[in-house]
Structure formats: structure tokens, C-alpha cells
Chain A
Amino acid sequence: MSADDQAVPDEQAVPQEEERRHGAPLTRQLGQVVLHPSREGYRDLVEQLRRDGYTFCLDVTAADYLTHPGRSGLPSTVTPERFEVVAILLSFEGKERLRIRVQVPDGDPVVASLFQLHPGTEAMEREVYDMYGIVFDGHPDLTRILMPEDWEGHPLRKDYAVGRIPVQFKGAPGDR
């Protein structure tokens, strides 16, 4: 999906249609609130939301949209990139969750770490780093967590093959 296709309707449609919270576009997916901040505004947004009562960070994960670039659900002002870091916050008072989707380009997979705001993201960000190779700037100990430390590659990327262990039965047809 190219940004040019969307450039034209943006200029008129944005002011009326797009809902924003703390400057980040807000969409709803199956009734769930999703915010789409820029990479630079991600950490500040989480900090502002923490003041709003979203004091609990449930999860930080990611997705690799290499083979599915034209996904829906993104507001027209957001340029889709290969990686998406997804953070899920919880408000005890409001009894609601909120999801944040940050676009992270393939060439420079770096986002700010939430560790100083929510220390509980330590293991989750390490897992995302391990599985996707996304670097969290400001994380105190960004090492592999699930894979061995000398492992090559990041397994959950879409260009990382599933792989098979060759089956060594007699008369097994070819390499499986």
C-alpha cells in the first residue's frame, strides 16, 4: 500500500472523521479502542495515559506484516510499516483496556522502551526483541530471553522459515 493512494482524501476527511486522544488517532476494532501514535510520540502517549488512569501495562508484543501489508484498521493518517509494536494498557478505575499500535519500519526497528514507566514490560520487551529483532531504546538489559543467546535470526519474523527436523525413517521420501 502506498502513501500516495491515501494522500488525497486525507486533507478533507481528517478534521471531521478522525477521533484523537492526546494527539494520537483513535480507531475502534470490534468495540476495542486502539490508538495509533507515531514512533516518537509513543512513550509520551503512554506517560499521559498513565496519568489518565491507565496505570497497568498488560502486554507488549509485536506483529510482522511482511506478507500482509495492506491490513485494515489503520487510520488514513498512519503510514503502514513492516513491524507493529502493540502495547495493551489497563485502567482499574475505568475497567477498560486500551491498545496502542506503533508502526516500526524495517530499516530502523527501534522504539522507546516503556521500562521506566512500567517496569513490568522488562520481560515482554525482551521477548519482542528476541522474536522480532525490534530494539527498545532505554531498556536496561536487552538480551535474548527465550532463544539461546547465540541464536541467529529472529524466529517470529515472517521471512524466518518454520523449519522442520528431517525425519530419519527408512525409505522416507526425500527431504521433508
Chain B
Amino acid sequence: MTSIRYPGAATSEGAQELSARGQMTAGELLRESGSVLRMSEAAAAEQADRAPGDQETMIINMGPQHPSTHGVLRLMLELEGETVLRSKPIIGYLHTGMEKTGEDLTFLQGPTNVTRMDYASPLFNELVFSLATEALLQVEIPPRATWIRMLMTELNRIASHFLFLATNGLDLGAISMILYGWRERDLVLQFFEKTTGLRMNHNYIRPGGVAADLPDGWRDDVLRILDALPARLQEYDELMTGQPIWRARTQGVGVLTAEEAIALGATGPILRASGVPWDLRRDIPYLAYEEVDFNVVVGTYGDVFDRYAIRLNEIRESIGLVRQILDRIPRGDYRVQNKKVTPPPRARIDESMEALIHHFKIFTEGFKVPEGEVYVAVESPRGELGCYLVSDGSAKPYRMHIRGPSFVNLQTLPHMLRGGLIADAVAVISSVDPIMGEVDR
């Protein structure tokens, strides 16, 4: 397989594609799986030289327009019949340089940029960026803002996991799941629309607090969602969890052991499915998670079924969390009252010259953030979502890097697909739940 050479491509960095079987070297095999298996280079070289029988192998592309690749993921597969011998995910189709853009936006504009990365759970992106900015600013946000952030992100986790259940069901042939999953997700999105004005890409969580207080009647709205969901989850159990076809398609497929998951840097449900009880909300708490009770759902076998079951049960845990938040959410300010960080309320602008000046300065220049660097992470529905932020003392980040959990989790694919069938590949890709906006950023 030769890659296309464009005229004038003087700086070609080598092909990103999977190389042909004849060119397969020990390094190629090590890249794919050997280092995780702790295989020696000699053993890898021996395996690389071995031809896969007399049959011909075939390299085909799956994606970037394949419906089961969740967006624009392209997967090169080397097949022998229906068995996947090697594979390589090729990404970058949705790369829009958001980290570069982030260096050109002020800290106040930053959330509008990062919220578009993981578009299935936008509030987590805003949260991690805001937490990193606040760590550099060393401001303490009011308790109500903290609890509103917890409420909104837990609801977002529910919405995101419903999206996973819908697409996972669709990928595996439980077609009606796409309707059910979307229906339930929409309940949450309607609440988001009422609170933030938008169904996605909210720009609601901002450095210093949240953009607006919860709307009138929010408690009834949330309770209506929470009351509706348990019965629906019961339906999912009947439709999928106990169903023999579902179990046959998912159990024992795409197994990843704990050692492999740790070596490959997988986080979130993939790591927990392998039996590692690691959840940042419990182990390195942020916001007010040390004050609430919840269980960390952990799997045993690390297969597709475990990853499905973990997400399903995390919805139940999140419902319990939201109920606790409803009971305990305090009154008070929803954003920090620091004139240099927070714009003044609209009414003050009419009567106070200073308020007008502050308002103008914040929205034209932004606020200056002290020099320093910080790494902050939260537990997004996909794993550890981190933000590495460097400030040079100006109003714009000097460097803004987001550690996208999907980007790292995608590396587990070649390892899990090896030796499986193409039909299983669809199940495995779906179980990783990659969001390409976050992978490519």
C-alpha cells in the first residue's frame, strides 16, 4: 500500500496509514500491541516475519464515513477472511486547531472554544477549563456555584451515557435503542435549554462561577426527569442486559485486562471495566464530591458487556447524586463577586460609572491571570479530562492543552480488535465511545 504523494510535498513526514504486510516490521508490531504485552523486540521481529498462512490478506478502510465509527474515525484493517489481523486508527479529520485558537481567545472567551471539543458532554470541558483558570487566579468560587456545577455536570453525564446507550444499541442491531436513548437524552437537553439557552455548547460554566442562576421551577423540572428515568432504565435491562443475543454479541468481546488498560493510558469506563476502581470524583475529589455518597461501578472481565453495564449503572449512580444535590444545594451567589473577574449585573450598569467601565474592560480586554502553569482534571463520562494551562500574566492563555480521554482511549482499539471479527470490531469501537471532536480537537 503506497500512500498518495502530493506534488510539492517536500516535508512529508511519512505515511500515517497502516503499512503493507510485506513491510511489517517488529516496530510496527510493537506499536500495535507488543509493548503492552511486554514482548521483547526479538519476539516481535519473529512474529512480524511470519506470514499469516497461504491465504491472502487484505487491507481495507473502515470509515471515515462509516456509520459505526461515530463521526470521522478511519480505521485501517488488515483482514484474513473476516478476522482482523492488524488495525490502525487514523484520526485528524476533524482537527480544527482548537488549542491554537485557545491561545488567541481570552480566558472569558475560552469556554466557548473548549465546549465544542467533547460535544456530547460540553459542560465538562467548560468545567475543567474554568477550574484551571480559577486555580491560576486563586479565587474561591461561592458554594452555590460549586453545587450548580455538580448538578449540571451530573445531568450531562446522564445525557452523555444515554447517547452511548443509544448508539451502542444501534451498532449492535438493537435498532429501537436509538429512539429510546435519544428520547431520554432529550429530557435532559430540554432542561439544559431552559437553563443555559442552548441544548449543546452551552458556555454556561465560566471562570468565576456559572453564567446564570437556575431558572424558576428548576427543581420540579429536575425531579420530573429523575422520576421518569428509573422505569426507562428498567426497560433497557429487559431489552438488552438480560437478552441472550445481546450477551452473545458483547460478552467476551474486546477484552482488555487491567495491566493493558493502565499501560495504554485508558481511563473512565474502559479502565473501570477492567476492574480498576478509579474514579476521580472519589479518589481525587474536585468541586464538592467528597460531601456526597455514590458508588464507583467496577467491572470484572473488561469486555464490551462490562463497559455497557458500567455506563448503564453510572446513570443510576448519577440519578442518586442529583437527588443528593437537590437536597443540599445552598442559597447564595452563583458567581464570585470579584469585579475584576465577573461582569457586573445589567442593572448596575445604568447607575454606576464604575460598573460600566468594569463591564467594558472585561468584555474587551478580559481579565489578567497571574503567571504560572497548572494541570486540572475532572472525571468526564469518557475518563480523565485534563486541562494544562500556562499563563504569561496576560488576559489570554499562553498555552491551553486539553487531555481528551477519547484521544487516549482510542489507542486501545488496535489491541482489542486483534484477532477478532469485523462484526466484533463494530461492537468494540462503540464500547470505547469516542467523540471525534475531542479526539481531533
Cross-chain contact of B265 among A72, A118, A151 (Cβ < 8 A): A118
Q: Of A59, A71, A121, A148, which contacts B92 at CB under 8 A?
A: A148
Residues on A with beta carbons closer than 8 Å to the beta carbon of B10 = 152
Tell me the complex Cα distance, A58–B376, Å. Answer: 12
Do B28 and A141 touch (CB < 8 A)?
yes
Query: Contact string, A109-128, partner B, CB cutoff 8 A, digits 1/0?
Result: 00000011011111110010
Query: Chain A residue with minimal CB distance to B29?
Result: A140
Contact B28 A29 (CB under 8 A): no
User: In the complex, which residue of chain A has the Cβ closest to the Cβ of B401?
Assistant: A61
Complex: chain A residue closest to B405, CB-CB: A58
Give 1 or 0 for each of A90-123: 1 = CB within 8 Å of chain B CB: 0010011101000000000000000110111111
Q: CB within 8 A of B27: which of A29, A56, A140? A: A140
Which residues of chain B have C-beta atoms less than 8 A from A86's C-beta?
Answer: 388
Interface residues of B in 248-282 (CB under 8 A from A): 262-267, 276, 278
B398 to chain A: closest CB distance in Å?
6
A119-B136 CB under 8 A given contacts A58-B265, A59-B403: no
Nearest to A61 among chain B residues (CB) is: B401
Most chain-B CB neighbours within 10 Å: which of A140, A148, A152?
A: A140
> Are A149 and B390 touching (Cβ within 8 A)?
no
The answer to whether A155 touches B403 (Cβ under 8 A) is no
Of all chain B residues, the one with the shortest Cβ separation from A128 is B401
Q: Is A1 on the interface with B (CB-CB < 8 A)?
A: no
Taking the closest CB of chain B, its distance from the CB of A91, in whole angstroms, is 11
Which chain B residues border A152 with CB–CB below 8 Å? 10-11
Whether A123 lies near B410 (C-beta < 8 A) is: yes
Q: Could you tell me the distance between the alpha carbons of A57 and B384 in the complex, rounded to whole angstroms?
A: 12
Of B97-105, B142-150, B289-297, the one touching chain A: B97-105
A68 cross-chain contacts in B, Cβ below 8 A: 392, 398
With A59-B388, A73-B373, A162-B100 in contact, is A140–B403 under 8 Å at CB? no
Least CB distance, B47 to chain A, in whole angstroms: 14
Q: Is the CB of A29 within 8 A of B374?
A: yes
Residue of B nearest to A148 (CB): B92
The minimal Cβ–Cβ distance linking B160 to chain A, given in whole angstroms, is 21
CB distance from B416 to the nearest CB of A (A): 14
Q: Check: A24 CB closer than 8 A to any chain B CB.
A: no
Chain B residues near A151 (CB-CB < 8 A): 11, 13
The stretch from B30-38, B186-194, B334-342, B355-363 touching chain A is B30-38
What is the distance, in angstroms, from B100's C-beta to the closest C-beta of chain A? 6
- Across-interface contacts of A29 in B (CB, < 8 A): 372-374
The distance from the CB of B32 to the nearest CB of chain A, in whole angstroms, is 9
- The one of B3, B27, B92, B377 in contact with A141, judged by C-beta atoms closer than 8 angstroms, is B27
Is B15 in the interface zone, CB < 8 Å from A? yes
For residue A96, which residues in chain B have a CB less than 8 angstroms away from its CB? 284
**Contact status of A88 and B388, CB under 8 A, knowing A145-B91, A149-B3, A156-B99:** yes
Distance of A58 Cα from B188 Cα, bound (Å)? 31
- Interchain nearest-CB distance for B265 vs A (Å): 3
| A interface residues, how many (CB within 8 angstroms) | 52
- Whether B104 lies near A58 (C-beta < 8 A) is no
Q: Is the CB of A147 within 8 A of B95?
A: yes
A73 x B372 contact (CB < 8 A):
yes
Which residues on A sit within 8 Å (CB–CB) of B411? 119-120, 122-123
Chain B residues near A99: list those with CB within 8 A.
375
A119 CB to nearest chain B CB (Å): 4
Query: Which A residues lie within 8 Å of B375 (CB)?
Result: 32, 59, 88, 97, 99
Whose C-beta in chain B lies nearest to the C-beta of A119? B35
Q: Does A36 contact B (CB under 8 A)?
A: no
Q: How near does chain A come to B116, taking the closest CB pair, in angstroms?
A: 16
- Please indicate the chain B residues that have their CB under 8 angstroms from the CB of A72 in the complex: 371-372
B266 and A149 within 8 A (CB): no
Contact A56 B30 (CB under 8 A): no
Confirm or deny: B408 has a beta carbon within 8 angstroms of a beta carbon on chain A: yes
Distance between Cα atoms of A72 and B278 in the complex (Å): 33
A-B contact pairs, 23 of them (CB 8 A): A58-B267, A58-B377, A58-B384, A59-B388, A59-B403, A61-B388, A61-B403, A63-B401, A64-B399, A68-B392, A72-B372, A73-B372, A88-B388, A120-B263, A120-B266, A124-B265, A140-B31, A143-B13, A144-B14, A147-B92, A149-B14, A150-B9, A151-B11
Q: Contacts A88-B388, A143-B14, A144-B92 given; 20 further ones with Cβ under 8 A?
A: A30-B138, A56-B265, A58-B386, A58-B403, A59-B401, A59-B403, A73-B373, A88-B386, A95-B283, A96-B284, A118-B265, A119-B263, A120-B264, A123-B408, A140-B31, A143-B15, A146-B92, A149-B13, A150-B5, A152-B10
